[in-house]
Amino acid sequence: MHIGKILQQKLKDEGKTVVWLANELGCHRTNVYNLFEKYSIDTQLLQRLSVILNFNFFSLYEEEVNHKMDDK
């Protein structure tokens, strides 16, 4: 799972811009573009992103873990 690409798609689906997210996070838009390239994101930042975008990104990890556990 590439969380950065998922974040980018979620932002697009919500009709929000990179500038909007950068303002919400209090950072420069370059930092947001850097997030899109990351395979993993710090949990505190992921929590902030979940609240800002009103989407529980942690649920994606839960689904992945459950799937891998079922495969055992």
Report the run of H or E that residue 62 belongs to, with start and end: helix 58-70
pLDDT at 72: 72
> What range defines the domain where residue 13 resides?
3-70
Q: What is the mean pLDDT of each run of 10 residues along the chain (72 residues)?
A: 95 97 97 97 96 94 79 75
- Nearest one of 44, 51, 59 to 1, comparing CA atoms: 59
Buried b / exposed e over 13-43, threshold 16 CB at 10 Å, is eeeeebeebbeebeeeeeebeebbeeeebee
Instruction: Give the count of domains, the chain.
Output: 1
Q: Can you give the CATH number for the domain in which 43 is found?
A: 1.10.260.40
List the one residue out of 2, 61, 7, 1 whose CA is nearest residue 33: 7
Whole-number pLDDT of residue 69: 76
Report how far residue 69's alpha carbon sits from residue 37's, in angstroms, rounded to the nearest whole number. Answer: 27
- pTM value? 0.86
